[in-house]
A and B are shown apart, each in its own frame.
Chain A
Amino acid sequence: MSVESRRLKFAFIGPALVLLVLFNVFPLVFNVGLSFTNAELIGSEREFVGTANYTRIFDDPIYAGAIRRTAMFVAFAVGIELALGFSLALALRREFRGKAIVLTTLLVPMMLSPAVIGLFWNLILNGNFGIVNQMLESVGLPQPQWLTDRDLKFTSILLIDVWMWTPFMMLISLAGLNSIPASLYEAAEVDRASTYTVFRRITLPLCAPLLGLAVLLRATDALKQFDLVMATTGPNDANTQTLSTLLYQVVFRDGKLALGSAYACLVLVLVIAVATAFTRYLEALEKRPA
């Protein structure tokens, strides 16, 4: 290839890739280095302390707790969103008047800022003057303290996430359902297959690859959960701390820069594992005969 066209090629892909490496690879390397020091947010003095930060993280249950809680969040939020979104897609599958409007309306929550909308949920779920509890009171049901009861608040945050992201699962499920050829259903009808068999043998298996993609996309996103927790209970609540909010607390509230870096390194190992699973899945999906 001529020098000319090699230069042209670099002119196209170079700027973007250089920026991506600069803002992603450099921080990773830097984080690793920083995690073996005792650097703080204020001041520039730092000393090498070996693996002290890592020992501290493994000794203090709060760190493992945040990882466990985030894993639960990913499992339950994504699971409920998938079940609900897929059911909705099944219900919305057939044409009806005004379907386009209903669909667009249902999709709105996932496009909104979780930080802003999450803040407003504080009013909706307020124990005394929130509309949810006022409604429950009017029909004589118990009125839980959604965001202050220590056993309930994490579930409440999870439900807000379900409210925001079920539409995403519905959208992808609908795409999966629409891609199933009608001839398969006609053949099943000729064979007098039961509704259950049709669902089990046709609908579900043919939707599965897209649902898998949806689950992975949502999981990588839920793993980062930060905005909703910050908007509702804040970063320093032991009952709702996720990976990201604990990192915020350690670095920006406690000023423990190096400790935060060590924790970030461990978090990144997790993230890279999930991201690798995702890209592998995508490659397998591409190779699949259409």
Chain B
Amino acid sequence: MKILRWLLIVGYTALATLPLLWMALTSFKARDDAISQHPRFLPMMEHGNDPSRHTFTPTTSSFAALSDVHAGAQHSFWSYLGNSIVIGAFSTLASVLLGTLCAYGFSRFRIAGAKDWLFFVLSTRFMPPLAVVVPVLMMYRQLSLTGTQTGLILLYTVFNLSLSIWLMKGFLDEIPRAFEEAAWIDGYSRWDAFIRIILPQARTGMAVTAVFCLISAWNEYGFAMTLNSSGAVTVPAYFAGLQGNIDGMPWPQVAAGGLLFVVPIVAFTIFVRRHLLRGMTFGTIKQ
């Protein structure tokens, strides 16, 4: 039983991490080493030229090549990363602000049909992007928002509102009402009490919510590729564009770009690890 247990843990840990380690290793290879007939997994400076060798000379050339414009794209990787950063940052900011306000309303005011509204909010998350993208596309064409950063920022703000409202409501519900009530007695208006008393208390919740909004905007692909296939393209849509010819893929560069793209997410995951359960379940499970 004990052996079985460790076999499962060790085996699955290997399964979960090896693909990502392989990506990291590939990013330091030359293209020939990345698609050799025999797997090359040992980085070594000195080795022979035997075609069946398992060693490769590590190089950072794939990272340098991220500045090149590859077939299937119009700019270098960095320009797309810039789009991802701007769109992710602004949409996260807007989602958390609007979501916190809305969640506070639901947490502290009597609202007719509050439950139904909250379930409506949650159900918006279940919509497949491809099923709502056509009307959004036509609306965006009228407003000249297709292919702009503003367009995706607006869309991701709305897309993440469900997450932000549900998470923030959970966090705000945990702040005792006595805090605000004391402030009202001291002569604060409701709004002032919210700004000066509640917001500072909700800081951790807002930070956690921001991380989850950022990750979901960062990874989003369906809207990104349909609304912004030519302008203000984000990294996931950029990578998809390289796909034309699988054998001609610049694998080390894909690995290098992919690595740079996921490293911040791994860092954020570690940062919010204690809140992962809550974040991934819209706050429906609290611990």
- Evaluate contact between A267 and B131: CB separation under 8 angstroms: yes
| Inter-chain contact B285/A20, CB cutoff 8 Å | no
Nearest B-chain residue to A219, judged by Cβ: B126
Assess the B128–A117 pair: CB atoms within 8 A: no
Q: Are B131 and A268 in contact (CB under 8 A)?
A: yes
Within 79-133 of A, Cβ neighbours of B (below 8 Å) are at 84, 87-88, 91-92, 100, 102-117, 119-124, 126, 128-129, 131
- A-side interface residues, number (CB < 8 Å): 94
Contact check, A244 vs B128: say whether CB atoms are below 8 A apart. Answer: yes
Q: What chain A residues lie within 8 Å of B8 (beta carbons)?
A: 87-88, 91
User: B39: CB under 8 A from chain A?
Assistant: yes
Contacts A13-B111, A110-B280, A251-B134 given; does A135 touch B285 at CB 8 Å? no
Provide the bound-state CA to CA distance between A104 and B121, in Å: 30
Once the chains bind, are A248 and B109 in contact (CB under 8 Å)? no
Given contacts A27-B135, A91-B9, contact A115 B269 (CB under 8 A): no
Known contacts A108-B20, A120-B23, A279-B123; A213/B281 CB under 8 A: yes
Identify the stretch in B60-68, B174-182, B202-210, B216-224 within 8 Å (CB) of chain A at 4 or more residues. B216-224
Min C-beta distance of B141 to chain A, whole Å: 10
| Interface pair B284/A213, CB less than 8 Å apart | yes
Tell which of A48-56, A57-65, A196-204, A270-278 binds the partner.
A270-278
B79 interface residue per 8 A CB criterion = no
Greatest chain A CB density within 10 A among B22, B38, B98 is at: B98
Shortest CB-to-CB span from B245 to chain A, Å, is 11
Assess whether B99 is in contact with A217, with CB atoms less than 8 Å apart.
no
Query: Once bound together, how far apart are the Cα atoms of A104 and B139, in whole Å?
Result: 42
Contact B134 A91 (CB under 8 A): no
Report yes or no: B9 in contact with A226, Cβ–Cβ below 8 A. no
In this assembly, does A177 line the interface, its C-beta being within 8 Å of a C-beta of chain B? no
Contact A261 B101, CB 8 Å, known A120-B19, A135-B39, A175-B287? no
Q: Cα distance A163–B251 when bound, in Å?
A: 21
B-chain residues with CB within 8 Å of residue A20 when the two chains form the complex: 120-121, 124, 158, 161-162
Q: Is B261 an interface residue (CB 8 A)?
A: yes
B273 touches A271 (CB 8 A): no
**Chain A: minimal CB distance from B42 (Å):** 14
Check if A112 sits within 8 Å of B121, measured CB to CB: no
Q: Determine whether A187 belongs to the interface, using a CB cutoff of 8 Å to chain B.
A: no
User: Judging by beta carbons under 8 Å apart, are A23 and B287 in contact?
Assistant: no
A112 touches B219 (CB 8 A): yes
Question: A16 vs B122: C-alpha distance in the bound complex, in angstroms?
Answer: 13
Which residues from chain A contact B158 at a C-beta distance below 8 Å?
Answer: 19-20, 22-24
Q: Decide if A129 touches B36 in the complex (CB within 8 Å).
A: yes
Interface residues of A (CB under 8 A from B): 5, 8-9, 11-13, 15-17, 19-20, 22-24, 26-28, 30-31, 34, 84, 87-88, 91-92, 100, 102-117, 119-124, 126, 128-129, 131, 134-135, 163, 166-168, 171-172, 175, 210, 213-214, 217, 220, 223-224, 226-227, 230-231, 234, 243-244, 247-248, 251-252, 257, 260-261, 264, 267-268, 271-272, 274-275, 278-279, 282-283, 285
A34-B135, A112-B219 are known; give 13 further A-B pairs, CB within 8 A. A9-B109, A13-B102, A24-B127, A91-B6, A107-B276, A115-B221, A115-B239, A120-B254, A122-B246, A124-B22, A131-B39, A224-B128, A279-B119
B residues lining the A interface (CB < 8 Å): 5-6, 8-9, 12-13, 15-17, 19-20, 22-23, 26, 34-39, 98-99, 101-102, 104-106, 109, 111, 115, 117, 119-136, 138-139, 155, 157-159, 161-162, 165, 190-191, 215, 218-219, 221-222, 225-226, 235-237, 239-240, 242-243, 246, 249, 251, 254-255, 258, 261-262, 265-266, 268-270, 273, 276-277, 280-281, 284-285, 287
List of 4 A-B pairs having minimum Cβ-Cβ separation, nearest first: A12-B105, A13-B105, A16-B102, A27-B135
